[in-house]
Chain A
Amino acid sequence: MKRLTGSGVLLIVVPLLVALFGPLLVPDDLTRGAPFMPEGPLGTDFVGRDVWHQVLLGGRTVVLVALLATVCAYVVGVPWGVLAATARPLDEVLMRPLDLLLAIPSLLVLILLATIAGPGIVALVGIVTLINFPDVARISRAAALEIAGRPAVEAMRMQGETWWRIAIGYIGRSMLRTLAADLGVRLTGALYLVASASFLGVGVPPDAADWAVMVDRNRVGLFLQPWAVVVPAVLIVALSIGLNLTFDRALRKETR
């Protein structure tokens, strides 16, 4: 099992390094050749660009959008959940609409909203946040409800502490463990949405240097030049599996 952890970390590190530092290794003057030719280390893509350069460039958007969207989901979702749990009259008002959002398939919400918002990283981050934050709010609410029932909170209330001190100083801090446990699922979920949307051509320009877009655009040349499809796809798969294994491992060590 120890070996598995190692491979989990390795599976994350390789795609992350490529995504974050890859763009620095790409020369400024990109020449274009004929499409789907075996020139260069990984050949050329559907418009004759060098696949290796595209791989180096294409991870940044996927990883950044997934990370940003996850952070935003917590920034919106945690206060939402804590507010619902501590200010009881607001509970129904805050949580009911979220049930509705959870009733629509998330990829469908993504496609609909992205059609309205048009392409752009900011829009994509916003939409993935919107899809992810109801789950965060639910988990935060459940955790905060449990903590708010503790004698310590009752004592603080009787001492006349302000809502802010109780909600943020005590409840917020006590929730950190639960939220940390949730982080892995949230991150892979965001990665899934961002990559799938880009693959479907939603929210990104059609010739963007993006692993998911590369997979989509170069599919027609799968027989001629499989690397243009397989390399970005494998990087996405590796990142997803690696995140899952690592977070699961960390979680089990924590609970033991």
Chain B
Amino acid sequence: MISYAARRLALGVGQVLAVVTVVFLLVQALPGDAAVALAGDDPDPARIELIRAAMGLDQPPLRRFGDWLWGLLHLDFGVSLVSGRPVADFLATGLAPTALLAALTLVLLVPLSILVGVAAALREGSPLDRALTSVSVGLHSIPEFALAVVLIAVFGVGLGWVPPTAVGGLTPAVLVLPLLVLLARPICSISRLVRAGMIEALSSDYVRHARRLGIDVRRIRFAHALPNALAPAVQQVARTTDWLLGGVIVVEAVFVIPGLGTVLVDAVASRDLPVVQGLAVVFAVTTVAVNLLADLAAFRLAPRSR
């Protein structure tokens, strides 16, 4: 376990470093000069030079990359080109709503997927199983924004059951539709994996043997078969952070939730590069970290997979 964890951790650190480098290079490739953008509508060459020096833009790229990396280690992401506020401020204000959305989604996602997957697996081939399978196939990679506005139009505007957007504040009723939209895609893919894993586990030799020993059926299903069925599903949970982060960006935009996704979309619209850069690093590091944790969890659940 420890040697596997160490190797996996090294890979994770490598990925983070590579991602940070790529983000830096991409932003370097952007047309336009940050100092010119900051100098305003009537750029005075002397002023531009002054800003360039202040921002360190006159340094060689390698030096700037080093400075930027050093800043990241201290959670110093630089300063916004538009407002002059530190990027870390943007991250701090946007973090709470996004973290709330992501945490609630994950908390609901795991038990619901297991429930759906196991329910389908225990009645394989039944109308329930076929209905669940059709729905989960159909909803695979459906664009969140389209699903979201249809739900808003029906439940928010048409029936008036829930507020259509989060403009009035983040109350529990506001969160119902965003969570539904965020859950739709991952539940489908994970419950299908749980179903497949469960069906395979239930027909395996050790389950048959346990049945012959007369062990309680519920105990066989949930203490013996289920953990083995979960290992691939846990890894898929990690893969879905990719979708979840993408989904959060879209869902925040649709429901007007002031989270990191909204900050990113606004920063992209105003070409506020330091903010885009900082958010990209945060999102990428989160993805790498979640994947790392999931691989370790899957290893723990079913060590034979490695």
Give a binary string over A180-208; 1 marks a CB under 8 Å from any B CB, 0 the rest: 00000100110110011001111000000
State whether the Cβ of B271 lies closer than 8 Å to any Cβ in chain A: yes
Are B145 and A103 interface neighbours, CB within 8 A?
no
Whether B6 is near chain A, meaning CB under 8 Å from some CB there, is no
Report which residue of A191, A230, A245 has the largest number of chain B beta carbons within 10 angstroms of its beta carbon.
A230
Stretch touching chain A among B88-96, B115-123, B149-157:
B149-157
* Chain A, 137-161, CB within 8 A of any chain B CB: none
CB-based contact B146/A215 at 8 Å: yes
Proximity bits, B261-281, A CB within 8 Å = 1, else 0? 000110011010000100010
Which of A105, A223, A248 interacts with B287 by CB under 8 Å?
Answer: A105
A215 touches B142 (CB 8 A): no
B147 at the interface (CB under 8 A from A): yes
Chain B 148-177 residues near chain A, CB threshold 8 A: 149-150, 152-153, 157-158, 164
Instruction: Return A136 CB to nearest CB of chain B, in Å.
Output: 15
Q: Say yes or no: is A123 at the interface (Cβ < 8 Å to chain B).
A: no
Q: Does B130 contact A (CB under 8 A)?
A: yes
B246 is an interface residue with CB less than 8 A from chain A: yes
Contacts of B269 in A (CB 8 A): 201
Partner of A111, one of B18, B19, B145, B268: B268
Which of B141, B153, B241, B288 has the most CB atoms of chain A within a 10 A radius of its CB? B141
Q: Are A100 and B18 in contact (CB under 8 A)?
A: yes
Residues of B within 8 A of A234 (CB): 146, 150
Cβ-based interface call for B34 (8 A): no
Q: Which residues of A contact B268 (CB under 8 A)?
A: 111, 115, 200, 202
- Residue from the list B18, B153, B246 in contact with A106, Cβ < 8 A: B246
Q: A103-B19, A113-B26, A116-B29 are in contact. Are A108 and B149 (CB under 8 A)?
A: no
Query: Which positions in A face B, CB cutoff 8 Å?
Result: 1, 4, 99-100, 103-108, 111-113, 115-116, 185, 188-189, 191-192, 195-196, 199-202, 212, 215-216, 219, 222-223, 226, 229-230, 233-234, 236-237, 240-241, 244-245, 248
Q: A1-B130, A103-B288, A106-B246 are contacts. A244–B140 as well, Cβ < 8 Å?
A: yes
Restricting to B122-144, which residues have a CB under 8 Å from any CB of A?
Answer: 130, 134, 137-144
Is B22's CB within 8 Å of the partner chain A? yes
B interface residues, how many (CB within 8 angstroms): 50
In the assembled complex, the Cα of A233 lies from the Cα of B144 at a distance in Å of 10
**B12 to A, closest residue via Cβ:** A103
Contact check, A199 vs B157: say whether CB atoms are below 8 A apart.
Answer: no
CA A214 – CA B130 in complex, angstroms? 35
In contact, B250 and A196 (Cβ under 8 angstroms): yes
**Which B residues lie within 8 Å of A226 (CB)?**
153, 157-158
A-B contact pairs, 10 of them (CB 8 A): A1-B130, A103-B287, A105-B241, A107-B250, A113-B26, A199-B145, A200-B249, A200-B268, A230-B153, A233-B153
B142 near A233 with CB under 8 A, answer no
**Distance (whole angstroms) from the CB of B280 to the closest CB of chain A:** 6
A230 and B138 within 8 A (CB): no
Which 8 A-B residue pairs are closest in the complex by CB-CB distance?
A: A107-B246, A236-B146, A233-B146, A105-B245, A241-B138, A195-B143, A199-B145, A240-B142
CB-nearest residue of chain A to B283: A108
B253 contacts the other chain (CB 8 A): yes
A240–B22 Cα distance when bound, in Å, is: 32
